Copies of this chain bind each other. A is one copy, B any other.
Amino acid sequence: MYSHCTTGGWILGNSVDGTQAEFVRIPHADCSLYPIPDGADEEALVMLSDILPTGFECGVLNGKVQPGSIVAIVGAGPVGLAALLTAQFYSPAEIIMVDLDDNRLAMARRFGATATVNSGDGKAAETVVKLTSGRGVDTAIEAVGVPATFELCENIVAPGGTIANIGVHGTKVALHLERLWDRNITITTRLVDTVSTPTLLNLLESRKIDPKLLITHRFKLDQIGDAYETFAHAANTHALKVIIEA
């Protein structure tokens, strides 16, 4: 579990300088760097550096998505959409996407969601459960990070199901054990450790995934301020991921 090594963990941009620089020093590089395969598309690889393994490891693998299962992903931001793309490796029967933004939900349908729910009416839990004929979902992936979305996951998970948390939370949430104590559920948290990078590289090379779908904007290096602005106002700009070209 090298995301929690006593000498490792989240280092770049956290305990040492980040990588927006001409030269970078990468601690533990012998365990965390991978050669770029011949002929690989470098823009696609940028998506593999963080967002795809986050959605895949914390959401899909921890959530134990299985062939024929029913999945809900709460949050259609970049990381939720990364979970949506990588969940399809396991051929779930249904993937229900929940968000407040109809633009993102439309994008989710293009990315493979079988149903979408706008949670703006406060009835998302009822709607999702109804979509599953009352059973609930096998996997609920939390990709927002606030109490309301985590509680939504508690309300839609079926007996025997899993809630896989990806969201970065800033406060505690209410865990309704008075309802869940006897329902055989599993809740997981995880910091991405990119152990899935070789798998994702194989899947990219064999064209089982097109991570460039996540790229909405491109900027030259001298426009980097605009790039940050665009990403900061994603609701208006509909930005998912922004590429800075050399």
Contacts and interface: CB of A to CB of B under 8 A. Distances in A.
Given A93-B203, A202-B68, A3 B184 contact: yes
Interface stretch (A161-169, A212-220, A238-246): A161-169
Interface string A152-191: 0000000110000101111111111110111111111111
A130 interface: no
Contacts of A202: 68-69, 93
Contacts of A168: 181-182
A68 B201 CA distance: 8
B180 A189 contact: yes
Contacts of A191: 182-184
Interface string A51-73: 00000000000000011110000
Contact of A186 (B90, B159, B175, B188): B188
Nearest to A151: B172
Interface in A113-127: 114
B178 A175 contact: no
Interface string A1-38: 10110000010000000000000000000100000000
A169 B178 contact: yes
Contact of A165 (B114, B172, B181, B208): B181
A176 B172 CA distance: 4
A169 B177 contact: yes
A171 B178 contact: yes
A145 interface: yes
A199 B91 CA distance: 11
B174 A185 contact: no
A173 B173 CA distance: 9
Given A68-B89, A173-B177, 6 more contacts: A1-B159, A89-B90, A150-B177, A165-B177, A172-B174, A172-B175
26 contacts: A1-B159, A1-B160, A3-B182, A4-B160, A4-B183, A10-B182, A67-B208, A68-B199, A88-B91, A90-B91, A91-B91, A91-B203, A150-B175, A150-B177, A165-B177, A167-B177, A169-B178, A169-B181, A170-B178, A172-B176, A180-B189, A184-B191, A185-B188, A185-B189, A187-B187, A187-B188
Across chains A and B, which 9 residue pairs bring their CB atoms closest together, nearest first? A68-B202, A93-B206, A169-B177, A182-B191, A67-B89, A175-B175, A68-B199, A4-B159, A89-B91
